[in-house]
Amino acid sequence: MSSSRPLRADARRNREALLTAAREAFLSKEADAHVEDIARSAGVAVGTLYRHFETREALIEEVYRQEVDELCAAPAELLDRHAPDEALRRFLLLLVEHAAVGKGMAVALGSIMATDSPVFDDARRQMAQALDRLLDAGSVAGSIRGDVGGRTLLRALGAICGMHATDGWTDEAVRITAILFDGLRCGVRNPG
């Protein structure tokens, strides 16, 4: 699909429009968005949507992947500016806040989780690496325990972010993340 020939200009434009419309729909919509609506608001027909994306899930996946790419650029920059543990703390909160934007996205991702998509695995690996970078730095500096890997931590975060309940979700997610962070530090007593 992406290899042989470059996409025709109109096709590339439509593809972008679909991704934009989808991102908007998943981030803002009350419940889960319908393909027909996404296609319409991208100014194309459903057939076009399905030419670019195998299934509804594939479209969601692609939106998700783009988000992940953006996020995974952060650790390097954070480590430049802050001490490792502070960088880690900020990254955790960044993830939570980012995830907090859209409930629809979380619901959508829930349905993907059930399908064991390889794309999803890739994203996981990528995110785990980003976290490992921060954890390793913290471990070397002696401020973060060394027995927790990025994969494990990611699972925790993905979990927290995946749980979008009704009211003040963000506040709670931030608190939970702070607790998790306290659990990761060493040489510091938790508040009593």
| Residues near its own copies, by CB under 8 A | 31-32, 103, 107, 110-111, 113-116, 121, 124, 142, 145-148, 151-153, 155-156, 158-166, 169, 172-173, 175-176, 179-187, 189-192
Min dist. Cβ of residue 65 to its own copies (A): 16
Min dist. Cβ of residue 97 to DNA (A): 28
Which of 29, 89 has the CB closer to DNA?
29
With CB under 5 to 8 Å by kind, the binding choice for 81 among its own copies, DNA, none is none
Which of 72, 156 has the CB closer to its own copies?
156
**CB within 8 A of 55, min separation 6: which ones?**
none
- Give the Cβ contact number of residue 132 at 10 Å: 17
Min dist. Cβ of residue 103 to its own copies (A): 7
Min dist. Cβ of residue 124 to DNA (A): 22
With CB under 5 to 8 Å by kind, the binding choice for 164 among DNA, its own copies, none is its own copies
Distances (CA, A) of 158 to 3, 67, 123: 31, 13, 11
Which of 134, 184 has the CB closer to its own copies?
184
Distance CA 47, CA 161 (A): 33
Which of 47, 187 has the CB closer to its own copies?
187
DSSP 116: T
Distance CA 111, CA 56 (A): 11
Could you tell me which residues are beta bridge partners of residue 135? none
DSSP reduced 3-state for 144: strand
Distance CA 189, CA 142 (A): 15
Residues near DNA, by CB under 7 A: 5, 7-11, 13-14, 32, 34-36, 43-48, 50-52, 55-57
Q: Are 85 and 185 in contact (CB under 8 A)?
A: yes
